[in-house]
Amino acid sequence: MSVETSENIQNTNDVQSNKRHVTDEDDEIALKVPKVEEEEITKVERPKTSKYVLMMGYLGRDYFGMQRNRGQKTIEEDLLTALFKSELITKTQFEDIREIKFQRAARTDKSVSAVRQIVSLKLPRHVNREIINEQLPKEIRIFGVKKVTKNFNSKIQCDARTYRYVIPTFALAPEDPQFLETKEEIDPDKRLEQLSMIDGKPYTEYRLTSDMLDKLNETLKLLEGTHNFHNFTGKIRPEDPSAYRYIMYFRCIETFVANDIEFAVLEIKGQSFMLHQIRKMVSMVVGISRNIIKNDTIKDAFALEKIDIPIAPGLGLSLHHVHYKYYNRKYGNDGIHEILDWQECDQEVEKFYKDYILKSIVDTEATEKITLHWLTCFLTPLRFAYKVTV
């Protein structure tokens, strides 16, 4: 805010009163030069910006999620730091990302990875992905940069999101009937020893049969459609309209063997997801596959009664696609903007997925036995789907 002193006012009056007496051309130029120089300085300090989207992938293993949270290691903190070091945003913009209209398409949780996350923000028109990547750790990559409409919001204009969950198939093996009859908590060490053998063989040798795969897909299909998913997240009351979510499909798209362990790849596409929703859906499917709960438990979970559902590990979950069908139809062929499907990046993206995300899932399972310990501690008749009082 400027403050006019009496001296300022007097000087202004002097200039105005003397304007008619200025006849020297040099004097006129002298009066105009500072104005021109100020405009030039402004242009240098504030380059022209446009709205862009960054398509990025990251290994979430060592991060506390996507969303910025001061004092913790997050994907956004590393991204914004790289943008600042690349001189694509100012210090003020780094401190307050509202200045650049920053928005993520999906908020991934702790340890969750992404293959094609989308971020929208305002950046200088000379933005280059290679400049940003030079300032990023190898676990985070920018695969593409595209200009979008000035009011584009990566979250609001997203039509759907596709996730994948990679899980060892031994987690889907049926439980020992005697264990299911247990009325007391089992000793963790004994439980771990029990889970380490399936049908008299090491758990790593377990393989899904074609019939079991068909049964798995039948169970996954029960979770498709529009339902009240209040039991699949936290702090959402059953009567809250936001608990209703639309799942377009949920299926097992493939199985593969790595490090002598068979893995199943579950793919789910929905309009939007709540916190922990997919991981609890996976947990429900595992519980049914192991005969700990029945298929009807899914119907119970969609009802108003509160049910406690364990959360599956975050390790196997990754965001794979963010869909913009309506935007692409309206603006993708207008001659100014590009279609947001990123097919031109597929080869580079898939390489990153296999070299970093998939490799991390497989190696961590083999060395740390994440899923085996999860089954030991959480997937028991007494802890799974236990109805609690609201």
| DSSP annotation string for 97-117 | GGGGT-EES----TT-EEEEE
For residues 173 and 198, the answer to whether their CB atoms sit within 8 Å is yes
- H/E run at residue 124: strand 113-124
Place of tokens 């920018």: 142
- Helix 188-195 to helix 370-377 angle (10° resolution) is 130
Query: Between β-strands 197-198 and 160-168, what pairing exists: parallel, antiparallel or unpaired?
Result: unpaired
Task: Name residues whose C-beta falls within 8 Å of residue 148's C-beta, 6 or more positions apart in sequence.
Answer: 51, 52, 53, 120, 327, 331, 337, 340
Question: How far is Cα 76 from Cα 63, in angstroms, rounded to an integer?
Answer: 10
Pairing of strands 140-147, 113-124: unpaired
Give the β-pairing of 317-323 and 113-124. Answer: parallel
Q: Please give the positions annotated as active site.
A: 109
> Which of 168, 230, 379, 388 is closest to 293 using CA atoms?
379
Amino acid at 323: H
Pick the closest to residue 138 from 19, 54, 51, 57 (CA basis): 57
Q: How many CB atoms lie within 10 A of CB 263?
A: 22
Could you tell me which residues come within 8 angstroms of residue 281 by beta carbon, excluding any fewer than 6 positions away? 223, 232, 250, 268
Residue 52 annotated as binding? no
Which residues have a Cβ under 8 Å from the Cβ of 331 and sit 6 or more positions away? 148, 149, 337
> Closest Cα partner for 283 from 269, 263, 262, 297?
297
Radius of gyration of the chain (CA): 28
Can you tell me whether residue 270 is helix, strand or coil? strand
- For 88, counting Cβ atoms within 10 Å of its Cβ (0-12 exposed, 13-18 middle, 19+ buried), the class is buried
> Which residue positions form the known binding site?
163
> Which residue positions form the known binding site for substrate?
163
